[in-house]
């Protein structure tokens, strides 16, 4: 009998593993108490300035009891890679004491590097989940650590797979205030979480290899049972789940039940931008977060001997002293038989002639060998330090194109600059060639070109509006792997996600270029997500009776679509800045001060989400009942666009569509007037055009969308409800497939 064969006692035959799996599956599906069976698929892991950028110290924290009290009584759960309890971002302060909550019932698992004292009052819960990983043979107890301790750090790779580090995300959301960020001996400033007074519960389900769906689902289930208020999820699938609908995927359903239990679920939208429909957070009960670039810049300047200067990127120290250093191209200071591409990329120290490179600035070229930007640039730094160079300059290869280097924010110990501009790269090479003497064979014999690199570790603050990051995943949302769009706006809201300083685990095995550091500078929607989780904690503290729907509504209807100057927020596309749309940033960039007092909110209940599932084209009503335990209405006139969200999305408008919205007043009595900015090709009417609404009162709004011109593309508008003290904005996204015949 082969290793993969099984003997079926009931059948009295020898069968293969695949047939045996199907046989066991059929038994499980028919077992009492089993609602559904899903394949265990693999899951991928996806601040010194942002509190000020978002206005928290001046406008929010003082209203909530000051820094120590901001977020008090709220527990944020993190499904991630664990936590480093020894980091100063998570130490208990003398004034914080223990959690003032009767709802949270979490526990602390002890184990390797995680003693019982690790749960110190700031960290109030810590557990780890690895049964799925163990069953699939990927868990290594030595490498992955059998405890809630954070031994990973996949925080740098910007693919649509979400990678992160739990210590990093937890400190962004709820890390202690005024923690000095010191890396390689340089002080980058003081860090703080969005809600420094909130408490942290960690559910480790991701490891160096990623994770498995069964472990993530178990972690979510435990977090809900423990009583967390908010769940921050920087994890998601690498693609749209297979099956009839992404909304019936096991993780999406588990998050639906979390929402039903009153837990706000905040999830990274993904890092697949700027491609259309690249979001990997699908369901309307999840708050999906896009990432922005803030106004903080780290620029490194190189000054040439002829007085020219160019600005690039690179968090590096300056060259020693106020003197210029000779420049040498990598190809001119290597052995002759070395491969040109290998030499130019500076990935290997072996070909370099040590006496020729000593105390010189070496020009390297960004080549096709740079498969992973951060790792490749870090390898250049390692090479230069080993061969004794004074520093290095990375230029663009004209054969690759001008938009390759995105400016990875690595902290480097050697002077360096990345010239991510073709014009600057060309000018440097022109100066170098004009000042390099060569013999008849073209070999360099004298190096007269000189330069010095200035300190790149000093931050600049431009005051510009946030910009949608190129990597941030875009809408429209899809309902299945066929990429069919659906009447749901994704992402929901945008927060800072680019170049975020936050805590790191020095023992991290996931990224050797940050190993040993206590802080890391990382970009991704995984960094934007804990910003929203922390802000949601502040809203929850201010309005403890609000559910997930109310908090999401408040963040969306008050978000900014424009900058301080009134100009529209822009988005990075493949090679230019364009005006952002709701598919780039959802309702807009988070405005914390306004989200605390939204005026009106849009409520959604579990019953409404079930009606939504029943209305999704292609979903069998029996599948819905089996998945959620509730039958679809016999006569369901509900359309997906009728779900009472703080947005309206119509994925195929043909003729006319009536859409109903209900608003609830969470402020004092007020009169509102309705203003409409119509999407191109659509006529929109709203009844009533104005209304008075009492405190805690509700009003019904009837919107009629009429297609007047077939656009065969999504166009955007908004409904604005203007009161004396509040402005409520609702984004509109409509695809006109066919105009009215009249």
Please tell me which residue, 669 or 40, carries the higher pLDDT value.
669
Of 605, 630, 611, 600, give the one whose Cα is nearest residue 701: 600
Active site residue 526: yes
- Cβ–Cβ < 8 Å for 556, 492: yes
In a shared domain, residues 236 and 307: no
pLDDT for 151 equals 80
| Distance separating alpha carbons of residues 630 and 4, to the nearest angstrom | 40
| The token pair that represents 295 in the structure block | 């106004």
Helices 606-615 and 250-260: crossing angle, nearest 10°?
Answer: 150
* pLDDT value at residue 44: 47
Residue pLDDT, tens place only, 579-592: 999 999 999 999 99
Active-site position among 526, 589, 647, 651: 526
In whole angstroms, what is the distance from residue 258 CA to residue 221 CA?
8
Least-confidence region, from 114-128, 262-276, 515-529? 515-529
Nearest Cα to 527, choosing from 181, 159, 268? 268
Check whether residue 455 and residue 513 sit in a common domain.
no
Residue 168 has pLDDT above 70, yes or no: yes
Claim to verify: residue 389 and residue 478 sit in the same structural domain = no
Position with higher pLDDT, 431 vs 91: 431
Q: With the CA atoms of 685, 689, 694 and 695 taken in that order, what torsion angle do they form, in degrees rounded to the nearest 10?
A: 50
Q: Would you call 563 exposed, middle or buried from its count of C-beta atoms within 10 A (0-12, 13-18, 19+)?
A: middle
What burial class does residue 501 get, using C-beta atoms within 10 Å of its C-beta: 0-12 exposed, 13-18 middle, 19+ buried? buried
In a domain, 498, yes or no: yes
Tokens of 741: 């015949």
Residue 9's pLDDT is: 45
What confidence category does residue 58 fall into, taking pLDDT thresholds of 50, 70 and 90? very high
Please check the confidence at residue 87 and state whether its pLDDT lies above 70.
yes
pLDDT at residue 369, as a whole number? 60
Q: Is residue 4 scored above 50 in pLDDT?
A: no
**120 burial level (CB within 10 Å; 0-12, 13-18, 19+):** middle
- Residue 505 is predicted with a pLDDT of 80
Q: Report the pLDDT value the prediction gives residue 158, as an integer from 0 to 100.
A: 35
Q: For 230-234, 427-431, 635-639, which range has the lowest pLDDT when averaged over its residues? A: 635-639
Q: What is the pLDDT of residues 144-165, one digit of tens each?
A: 889 999 886 433 333 444 445 6
Residues 493 and 553 in one domain: yes
Query: Is residue 228 scored above 60 in pLDDT?
Result: yes
Whether 393 and 330 have beta carbons less than 8 Å apart is answered as: no
Average pLDDT over residues 96-118: 83
Token output for 595: 């989200």
Q: Are residues 427 and 516 in the same domain?
A: no
CB 393 within 8 A of CB 417: yes
Q: Helix (H, G, I), strand (E, B), or coil: what is residue 258? A: helix
140 vs 41, more confident: 140
691 has a pLDDT exceeding 50: yes
Q: Which of 49, 154, 168, 177 is catalytic?
A: 154
Q: What are phi and psi for residue 98, nearest 5 degrees?
A: -105, 165
Per-residue confidence at 45, pLDDT binned at 50, 70, 90?
A: very low
Tokens 């949601």, residue located = 536
Q: What is the pLDDT of residue 521?
A: 87
**Which runs of E-coded beta strand occur in 152-308?**
179-183, 186-191, 199-204, 206-207, 210-212, 230-233, 235-236, 264-268, 287-293, 296-298, 300-304
In a domain, 230, yes or no: yes
The band of 516, judged by pLDDT with boundaries at 50, 70 and 90, is confident
pLDDT at 97 over 70: no
386-429 pLDDT, tens digit per residue, is 999 999 999 988 776 555 555 556 788 999 999 988 899 999 99
- Mean pLDDT computed over 184-212: 91
Q: What is the mean pLDDT of residues 614-629?
A: 93
Locate 564 and state its tokens.
């301080």
Verify that 534 and 679 share a domain, yes or no: no
CB of 50 closer than 8 Å to CB of 175: no
Domain residues for 667?
Answer: 643-741
Residue 13 has pLDDT above 90, yes or no: no
Same domain as 208, residue 103: yes
- CATH number, position 403: 3.50.30.30
Quote the CA–CA distance of 714 and 327 in Å, as a whole number: 52
Identify whether residues 166 and 240 lie together within a single domain: yes
**What is the pLDDT at residue 156?**
36
Say if CB 206 and CB 81 are below 8 A apart.
yes
The domain total for the chain is 3
- Whether 528 has a pLDDT exceeding 70, the answer reads yes
Residues 410 and 310 in one domain: yes
Task: Indicate whether 23 pLDDT > 80.
Answer: no
Burial label for 654, CB within 10 Å (0-12, 13-18, 19+), is middle
**Among the ranges given (87-96, 445-454, 507-516, 550-559), the one the predictor scored with the smallest mean pLDDT:** 507-516
Whole-model pTM? 0.89
Segment 553-558 shows an average pLDDT of 98
Residues 485-510: tens digit of each pLDDT: 999 999 999 999 998 999 888 876 65
Quick one: average pLDDT of 299-318? Answer: 93
The sign of the dihedral angle between the CA atoms of 188, 194, 197, 200 is negative
Rounded mean pLDDT of 626-640? Answer: 89
Tell me, yes or no, whether 444 lies in a domain: yes
80 is catalytic: yes
Q: What is the pLDDT of residue 455?
A: 94
Question: Is 698 tagged catalytic?
Answer: no
Look over the chain and give the mean of its residue pLDDT values, rounded to a whole number. Answer: 88
Please say if the pLDDT value at position 313 is more than 90: no
Beta 600-601 vs 656-665: how paired, if at all? antiparallel
If you average pLDDT over residues 316-330, what whole number do you get? 94
Cβ–Cβ < 8 Å for 731, 582? yes
Quick one: pLDDT at residue 122?
Answer: 94
* For the chain, percent of residues with pLDDT exceeding 90: 66
**Helix ranges, 312-456 (H):** 340-345, 354-357, 373-387, 422-434
Instruction: Return the CATH number at 105.
Output: 3.40.50.200
Both 150 and 251 in one domain: the answer is yes
Regarding whether 492 and 397 lie in a shared domain, the answer is no
How far the first Cα of the chain sits from its last, in Å, is 73
153 is written with which tokens?
A: 């750090």
168 domain-assigned = yes
Q: How far is it, in rounded angstroms, from Cα 619 to Cα 645?
A: 21
Query: What is the pLDDT at residue 368?
Result: 63
Asked if residue 88 is part of any domain, the answer here is yes
Q: Is the pLDDT of residue 336 over 90?
A: no
Report the 10 Å Cβ neighbour count for 482. Answer: 8
List the CATH number of the domain containing 678.
Answer: 2.60.40.2310
Residue ending a domain, among 407, 424, 459, is: 459
Query: Among residues 527, 561, 596, which one ends one of the domains?
Result: 596
In a domain, 635, yes or no: no
Q: Does residue 706 lie in a domain region?
A: yes
Domain boundary (459, 488, 522) is at: 459
Q: Are residues 278 and 217 in the same domain?
A: yes
Residue 474 lies in a domain: yes
pLDDT at residue 740 in the model = 64
């Amino acid at each position: 009998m082969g290793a993969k064969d099984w003997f079926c006692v009931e059948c009295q035959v020898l069968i293969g593993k695949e047939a045996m799996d199907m046989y066991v599956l059929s038994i499980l599906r028919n077992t009492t108490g089993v609602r559904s069976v899903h394949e265990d698929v693999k899951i991928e892991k996806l601040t010194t300035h942002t509190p000020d950028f978002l206005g928290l110290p001046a406008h929010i924290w003082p209203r909530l009891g000051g820094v120590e009290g901001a977020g008090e009584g709220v527990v944020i759960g993190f499904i991630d890679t664990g936590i480093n309890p020894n980091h100063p971002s998570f130490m208990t302060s003398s004034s914080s004491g223990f959690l003032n909550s009767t709802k949270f019932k979490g526990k602390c698992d002890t184990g390797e590097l995680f003693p019982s004292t690790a749960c110190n009052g700031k960290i109030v819960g810590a557990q780890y989940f690895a049964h799925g990983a163990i069953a699939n043979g990927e868990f290594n107890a030595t490498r992955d650590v059998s405890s809630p301790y954070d031994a990973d750090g996949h925080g740098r790779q910007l693919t649509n797979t979400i990678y992160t580090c739990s210590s990093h995300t937890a400190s962004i959301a709820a890390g202690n205030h005024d923690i000095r960020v010191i890396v390689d001996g340089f002080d980058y400033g003081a860090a703080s979480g969005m809600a420094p007074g909130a408490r942290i519960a960690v559910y480790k389900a991701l490891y160096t290899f990623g994770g498995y769906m069964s472990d993530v689902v178990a972690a979510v289930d435990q977090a809900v049972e423990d009583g967390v208020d908010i769940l921050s999820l920087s994890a998601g699938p690498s693609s749209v789940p297979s099956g009839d609908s992404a909304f019936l995927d096991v993780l999406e359903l588990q998050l639906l039940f979390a929402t039903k239990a009153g837990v706000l679920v905040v999830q990274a939208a993904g890092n697949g931008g700027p491609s259309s429909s690249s979001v990997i957070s699908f369901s309307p009960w999840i708050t999906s977060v896009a990432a922005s670039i803030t106004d903080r810049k780290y620029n490194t300047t190189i000054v040439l001997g002829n007085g020219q200067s160019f600005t690039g990127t690179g968090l590096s120290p300056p060259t020693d002293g106020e003197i210029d250093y000779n420049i040498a191209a990598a190809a001119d200071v290597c052995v002759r038989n070395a491969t040109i591409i290998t030499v130019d990329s500076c990935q290997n120290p072996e070909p370099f002639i040590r006496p020729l490179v000593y105390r010189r600035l070496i020009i390297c070229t960004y080549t096709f060998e740079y498969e992973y930007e951060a790792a490749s640039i870090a390898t250049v730094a390692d090479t230069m330090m080993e061969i004794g160079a004074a520093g290095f300059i990375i230029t663009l290869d004209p054969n690759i194109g001008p938009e390759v280097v995105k400016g990875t924010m690595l902290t480097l110990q050697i002077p360096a600059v990345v010239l991510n501009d073709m014009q600057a790269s060309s000018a440097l090479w022109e100066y170098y060639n004009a000042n390099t003497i060569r013999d008849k064979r073209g070999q360099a014999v004298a190096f007269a070109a000189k330069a010095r690199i200035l300190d790149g570790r000093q931050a600049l603050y431009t005051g510009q509006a946030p910009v949608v990051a190129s990597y941030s995943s875009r809408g429209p949302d899809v309902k299945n792997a066929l990429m069919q769009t659906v009447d749901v706006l994704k992402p929901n809201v945008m927060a800072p996600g680019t170049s975020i300083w936050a805590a790191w685990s020095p023992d991290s095995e996931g990224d050797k270029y940050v190993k040993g550091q206590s802080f890391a500078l990382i970009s991704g929607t995984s960094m934007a997500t804990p910003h929203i989780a922390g802000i949601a904690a502040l809203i929850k503290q201010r309005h403890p009776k609000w559910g997930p729907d109310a908090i999401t509504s408040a963040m969306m209807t008050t978000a900014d679509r424009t900058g301080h100057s009134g100009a529209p927020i822009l988005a990075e596309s493949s090679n230019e800045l364009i005006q952002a749309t709701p598919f780039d940033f959802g309702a807009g960039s988070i405005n914390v001060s306004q989200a605390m007092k939204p005026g009106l909110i849009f409520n959604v209940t579990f019953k409404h989400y079930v009606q939504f599932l029943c209305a999704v084209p292609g979903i069998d009503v029996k599948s819905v009942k089996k998945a959620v335990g509730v039958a679809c209405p016999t006569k369901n006139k509900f359309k997906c666009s009728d779900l009472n969200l703080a947005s309206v999305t119509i994925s195929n408008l043909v003729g006319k569509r009536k859409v109903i919205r209900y608003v609830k007043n969470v402020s004092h009595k007020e009169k509102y007037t309705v203003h409409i900015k119509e999407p191109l090709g659509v006529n929109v009417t709203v009844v009533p055009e104005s209304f008075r609404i009492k405190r805690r009162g509700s009003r019904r709004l009837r919107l009629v969308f009429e297609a007047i011109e077939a656009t065969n593309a999504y166009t955007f508008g908004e409904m604005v409800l203007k009161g004396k003290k509040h402005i409520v904005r609702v984004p509109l996204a409509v695809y006109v497939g066919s105009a009215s015949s009249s």
